[in-house]
Amino acid sequence: MGCDCLGIALPGSDTQLRDILNRANAAIVSFRLFADGDWAYEYSSAGCDRVFGYTAAEMLADPHLWLSRVLPEDRDTKIVPLFEAFFREESVTVEYRFRHKDDSLRWISATYTSRRDEAADCWSVTLVATDISSLKRTEASLRQYERILSATPDGIALVDRHYRYLLINRTYMTWHFKRREEIVGRSMHELLGDDTFENIVKPHFQRCLRGEIVQYEAWFDYRTQPRFVSVTYAPYMETNGTISGVVLSLHDLTQLKRAEEALQQSEERFRLLVNASPVGILQTDVQGNCTFVNPQWLKMAGLSPEEARGRGWSRALHPEDRDRLLREWNETVRAGGEFSGEYRFRTPEGRVMWMQGNAVAARDAQGNTTGYLGTIADITDR
């Protein structure tokens, strides 16, 4: 393909029109296209330099320059097929990648219009090309943001001031077991039900519309399963500072809540077992200081919980056994081992009882000692 002439004048136009076209933030070009695929430029605006990086003179000095700077895959799949559209006198818009004079890769959007000129036996084609690289980068960032939203396990939604959904992510759809079009455009009370909306959602939502970041936790009956959710509402602000909606972020705490409830139930069973146990039970910290004793231990020792706390439990020891037992106990604590021994208790009333005491170290998941758990049994009758 070649160029037969350098026509940088705009035939039949005045200086004012030329100035308007040259100041446009676009490359405006007209050319004649012949049946053999050759073309001849009629007009090229100053915008070519801004869009492509090359002046009209540079382009025309090398007939293949412009096409050589189009990425090969776009040249073959987007540019070459345009000629058939030109011959059919169609208007068409195409986006392609162009290697700018500064060697940066630019995205170009070009709109072509074509009409047959029977007198000249050619087609007159006009194009308006703009650099849309910034738009493409924005689109890429938006796609990346959409992928991030789709990948997050949290439910995300944007809701306007009238409680209508504007945007949702994949997790939010999955929880409700609905398609995007079944949620976007609908109101929250339609999706969540009047009771949940009025009693749980709406009061928090209205606080957020007044500019407050709101956080709360609640159970929600989703179609797939009930979920205990940590909810955050953040005001969605326009560039002028007005609040036009609310961004919803929902974090599923169901497993944690179930585990917490199971732990509470386990702790309650343990408490009932400890309180009803016929043996005395004592718990200490890692230094061996008493932090808990059960009712049976207090009954045997004749002490109150306050009196037993810390090293106060040793008050229950018989004076003749106290030094020995404390020495053995301190050695157990230093070694982080186990304790087993027989010794006597003497109550404030003077009653003496023989005890069998045992203690083991309590350890965390990493094997570190966190304290000791001990038991005592009355062996006086033995």
CATH code at position 68: 3.30.450.20
Q: Which residue type, as a one-letter code, is found at position 111?
A: T
Output the pLDDT for position 19.
58
Q: Are residues 162 and 244 in the same domain?
A: yes
Residue 32: give the domain boundaries.
15-133
178, burial (CB in 10 Å: exposed 0-12, middle 13-18, buried 19+):
middle
Q: Are residues 162 and 105 in the same domain?
A: no
Nearest 5°: phi and psi at 64? Answer: -100, 5
Tens of pLDDT along the chain (382 residues) come to 433 333 344 455 555 555 555 665 788 888 899 999 888 888 888 888 989 999 878 877 777 888 899 999 999 999 999 999 999 999 999 999 999 999 999 999 999 999 999 999 999 999 999 999 999 998 888 788 888 888 889 999 999 999 999 999 999 999 999 999 999 999 999 999 999 999 999 999 999 999 999 999 999 999 889 999 999 999 999 999 999 999 999 999 999 999 999 999 998 998 898 888 999 999 999 999 999 999 999 999 999 999 999 999 999 999 999 999 999 999 999 998 899 999 999 999 999 999 999 999 999 989 999 999 999 999 998 7
Asked if residue 139 belongs to a domain, the reply is: no
Q: Are residues 27 and 94 in the same domain?
A: yes
Number of domains comprising the chain: 3
Spatial distance between the Cα atoms of 49 and 27, rounded to a whole number of angstroms:
8
Spatial distance between the Cα atoms of 301 and 295, rounded to a whole number of angstroms:
10
Asked if residue 4 belongs to a domain, the reply is: no
Q: Are residues 174 and 227 in the same domain?
A: yes
Spatial distance between the Cα atoms of 313 and 293, rounded to a whole number of angstroms:
9
The H helix count followed by the E strand count for the chain is 15, 15
What pairing do the DSSP bridges indicate for beta strands 369-378 and 352-363? antiparallel
Residues 6+ apart with CB under 8 A from 125: 30, 31, 32, 33, 39, 86, 112, 113, 114
Q: Are residues 315 and 359 in the same domain?
A: yes
Asked if residue 161 belongs to a domain, the reply is: yes
Token pair, residue 242, equals 């007005």
Tokens 């709360």 belong to 216
Token pair, residue 375, equals 């038991």
CA angle 326, 330, 333 (to 5 degrees): 140
Spatial distance between the Cα atoms of 338 and 13, rounded to a whole number of angstroms:
104
Asked which of 104, 133, 162 is the last residue of a domain, the reply is: 133
pTM: 0.56
Spatial distance between the Cα atoms of 187 and 164, rounded to a whole number of angstroms:
4
Q: Are residues 218 and 190 in the same domain?
A: yes
> Which residues does residue 345 pair with via DSSP β-bridges, in sequence order?
317, 353
> Which residues does residue 342 pair with via DSSP β-bridges, in sequence order?
356
Q: Are residues 44 and 126 in the same domain?
A: yes
**Residue 315 DSSP class:** G
Q: Are residues 239 and 284 in the same domain?
A: no
Q: Are residues 103 and 205 in the same domain?
A: no
Spatial distance between the Cα atoms of 94 and 71, rounded to a whole number of angstroms:
14
Asked if residue 10 belongs to a domain, the reply is: no
Q: Which of 3, 4, 8, 2 is nearest to 44 (CA)?
A: 8
Asked if residue 141 belongs to a domain, the reply is: no
Asked which of 256, 289, 315 is the last residue of a domain, the reply is: 256
Asked which of 133, 168, 199 is the last residue of a domain, the reply is: 133
Q: Are residues 186 and 250 in the same domain?
A: yes
Output the pLDDT for position 190.
94
Spatial distance between the Cα atoms of 331 and 340, rounded to a whole number of angstroms:
12
Q: Are residues 158 and 123 in the same domain?
A: no
Asked if residue 30 belongs to a domain, the reply is: yes
Asked if residue 87 belongs to a domain, the reply is: yes
Q: Are residues 169 and 243 in the same domain?
A: yes
Tokens 């000095």 belong to 61
Token pair, residue 24, equals 């446009």
Asked if residue 5 belongs to a domain, the reply is: no
